[in-house]
Amino acid sequence: MKQVLVTGGAGYIGTHTCVELLARGYSPVVVDNFVNSSPVALDRVRRLTNHELPSYEADVRDTAQITDILKKHNCEAVIHFAGLKAVGDSVARPLEYYSANVIGTHSLLTAMIDAGTAQFVFSSSATVYGEPVFLPYTETHPLSPTNPYGQTKLTVELMLNDLIASGAMTDVAILRYFNPIGAHESGMIGEDPHGVPNNLMPYVAQVAVGRRPALNVFGDDYDTVDGTGVRDYLHVVDLARAHVLALNRFSRAPGPITVNLGTGHGSSVLELVRAFEQASGRDIPLNIAPRRPGDIAAFWADPSQAESLLGWRAEFDLADMCRDQWAWQSQNPHGFSAS
């Protein structure tokens, strides 16, 4: 049974990945400072899987504590989700983002080298690409992020490339996520952002349960199918499974990889809202608002490298994503806080 440290394991993608790891014989150990999550989420994973799940309230910037945890559990791999992820917030608070995302990853890598933990899976993002030069984005598309959040992800990618070149680490998987939505089909875990949601889907779901009056649609005059922004939404369970496949690959074919994780299809804001209305049976009132500065009209992934290197491809469609998002939101209208 392979022990895997999962940083940020109480968060949205982290909890779903712990479920998939446990289902496939891995033993995750969670570290989280709960800045954007709740310990209740980990209890839900334990209940859902009927497995033990050791966890520590710790910050990835505490190198000594992370080294101790890696050594104590003989971790062979780290999946690194911990970090801050809100684009708008990163413009307002760049130093916090560089601290959590860049200094945090530096600290974690230092701890891994000290503890002799060799395998690293990193949560990168499609935001590293920036304004599209061509679509779909392939992994070779120029990297030119348009906001501090994306800059922190690119900085970590560059740090990892230098570390690989130095020979200090070779088994590194950089996973560039597109737009994960949805939830585990049980409805027991899902995305529960603190404060006002920054992402579209949790906002839509909170409107559907009556926590917010209406959805603001930022721009309806883009050069897209219906004028609203287009993104490549993928089911969080599909995304979680890619992490298990990345770990499997290290045993089969050691060495670094960088892959896009998306479906390869874009959906507009209005298409997503209509699909969610269909799944939930609720109306989503809309306000059309001006474009937000820095927003990109449309982008989606070329996910073919994930298929050839990991054997991964997205299985779920938009209707599945909306059904499972609604299962989570309707069973947990106030997220984990009411538990």
Ligand X SMILES: NC(=O)c1ccc[n+]([C@@H]2O[C@H](COP(=O)([O-])OP(=O)(O)OC[C@H]3O[C@@H](n4cnc5c(N)ncnc54)[C@H](O)[C@@H]3O)[C@@H](O)[C@H]2O)c1
Write out the residues near ligand X by the rule CB under 6 A: 7-8, 10-14, 31-37, 59-61, 81-85, 100, 104, 123, 125, 177, 179-180, 199
Alpha carbon 4 to chain centroid, angstroms? 17
User: Is the backbone of residue 218 left (phi > 0), alpha (psi -120 to 50) or beta?
Assistant: beta
CB of 163 to ligand X, least distance (A): 18
Nearer to ligand X by C-beta: 178 or 250? 178
Active site residue 12: no
CB of 14 to ligand X, least distance (A): 5
CB of 167 to ligand X, least distance (A): 26
Could you count the other beta carbons within 10 Å of the beta carbon of residue 177? 21
Nearer to ligand X by C-beta: 171 or 232? 232
Find where tokens 């911990």 sit: 82
Tell me which H or E stretch contains 70. Answer: helix 63-72
| Residue count (the chain) | 339
Find where tokens 């310990």 sit: 39
The alpha helices in 136-218, defined as continuous H runs, are 148-166, 200-208
Dist. CA 108–CA 59, nearest whole Å = 10
Nearest by Cα to 179 from 272, 78, 75: 272
Q: Which residues contact 33 (CB under 8 A, 6 or more apart)?
A: 57, 58, 59, 60, 82
Dist. CA 73–CA 94, nearest whole Å = 34
Nearer to ligand X by C-beta: 35 or 270? 35
Q: 197: number of CA atoms within 13 Å, CB side?
A: 21
For ligand X, the nearest residue by Cβ is 11
Nearer to ligand X by C-beta: 28 or 254? 28
One of 56, 149, 177, 203 is an active-site residue; which one?
Answer: 149
CB of 86 to ligand X, least distance (A): 9
Q: What is the CA radius of gyration of the chain?
A: 19
Nearer to ligand X by C-beta: 12 or 222? 12
Taking a C-beta distance cutoff of 8 angstroms, is the pair 61, 109 a contact? no
Q: Which residues are catalytic?
A: 149
